[in-house]
C-alpha cells in the first residue's frame, strides 16, 4: 500500500511539473506569436484553398488563386518577422526534447536529446517562403498542397515545443487527418532534409 501511495504521489508530481513547464512554454511562444496574424492567415489560406479547388468556373477559380497569393505573401512576411524576433531568445529557453515520453524539464536534464526551436523555425520560414514564391512553377493546386504541408509541419513543431512529439502528432491527426510522416513526405525536399538532420526524425 505504501509503495502504491509513493508511486501515485510521484506520478502526480511529474504530471504537475509537466503541466507547469507546458504553461510556461505556451506563454513564451504565445507572447511572440501574439504580435502577428499568422494563425488567422493560415485559416484564410486553408479555407481559400478548399474554395478554389471546389470552384467549377475557371475564371472565378483564378480570381481566388490570385487573392490567395496576397495572403501567402503576408503570412510569409509575418512568419519571417516572428522568427527574427524569436531568434533573439536564449538557447536554454528554446530547446525541444526528442525523448519519446513527455518528461518534465527533459530539455534541461538531457540536453543531448534536444534540438533548437529557433533553428527549426528558420527551416520552416525558408520552406514557407520558397513554397509561396514557387520557383519551380508548380500549378496552383500543387503549390497549395506543398504550402499546406509546410504549414502543418510548422504547426507540429510548435506543438512539439509546447508539449511533446507524441502530443503534436496526435493533434496533427485530429485537426488535419494526416500523420507526421505523411506531412514530412509532402513538404519540399530541402525542408524535409534540413528538418530530419535537425530533429533526428
State how far the alpha carbon of 162 is from the alpha carbons of 38, 51, 165, in Å: 17, 32, 9
Which residues make Cβ contacts (< 8 Å) with residue 128, sequence separation at least 6?
75, 76, 79, 147, 150, 151, 154
| 73-118 residue pLDDT tens | 999 999 999 999 999 999 999 999 998 777 777 778 888 899 999 9
- Which pLDDT belongs to residue 91? 92
What single DSSP character describes residue 115? E
- Which pLDDT belongs to residue 191? 98
| 139-185 residue pLDDT tens | 999 999 999 999 999 999 999 999 999 999 999 999 999 999 999 99
- Model pTM? 0.91
The helix/strand/coil state of 96 is strand
Question: What is the distance of C-alpha 24 from the center of its chain?
Answer: 18
- Which pLDDT belongs to residue 108? 81
C-alpha cell at 32: 511572440
**Among residues of the chain, what percentage have pLDDT more than 90?**
81
> For residue 163, what is the enclosing H or E element?
none
| 35-64 residue pLDDT tens | 999 999 999 999 999 999 999 999 999 999
Tell me what the pLDDT averaged over the chain comes to: 92
Contact at 8 Å (CB) between 65 and 52?
A: yes
What single DSSP character describes residue 92? G
Question: What is the distance of C-alpha 88 from the center of its chain?
Answer: 19
- Which pLDDT belongs to residue 110? 85
Amino acid at each position: 500500500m505504501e509503495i502504491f501511495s509513493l508511486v501515485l504521489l510521484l506520478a502526480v508530481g511529474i504530471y504537475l511539473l509537466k503541466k507547469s513547464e507546458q504553461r510556461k512554454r505556451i506563454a513564451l511562444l504565445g507572447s511572440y506569436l501574439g504580435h502577428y496574424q499568422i494563425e488567422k492567415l493560415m485559416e484564410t489560406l486553408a479555407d481559400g484553398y478548399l474554395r478554389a479547388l471546389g470552384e467549377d468556373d475557371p475564371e472565378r477559380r483564378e480570381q481566388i488563386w490570385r487573392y490567395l497569393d496576397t495572403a501567402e505573401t503576408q503570412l510569409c512576411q509575418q512568419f519571417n518577422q516572428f522568427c527574427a524576433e524569436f531568434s533573439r531568445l536564449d538557447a536554454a529557453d528554446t530547446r525541444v526534447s526528442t525523448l519519446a515520453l513527455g518528461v518534465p524539464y527533459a530539455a534541461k536534464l538531457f540536453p543531448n536529446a534536444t534540438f533548437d526551436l529557433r533553428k527549426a523555425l528558420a527551416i520552416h520560414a525558408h520552406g514557407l517562403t520558397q513554397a509561396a514564391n514557387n520557383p519551380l512553377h508548380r500549378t496552383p493546386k500543387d503549390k497549395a498542397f506543398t504550402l499546406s504541408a509546410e504549414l502543418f509541419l510548422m504547426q507540429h513543431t510548435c506543438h512539439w515545443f509546447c508539449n511533446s512529439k507524441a502530443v503534436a502528432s496526435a493533434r496533427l491527426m485530429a485537426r488535419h487527418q494526416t500523420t507526421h510522416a505523411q506531412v514530412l513526405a509532402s513538404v519540399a525536399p530541402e525542408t524535409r532534409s534540413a528538418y530530419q538532420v535537425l530533429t533526428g526524425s
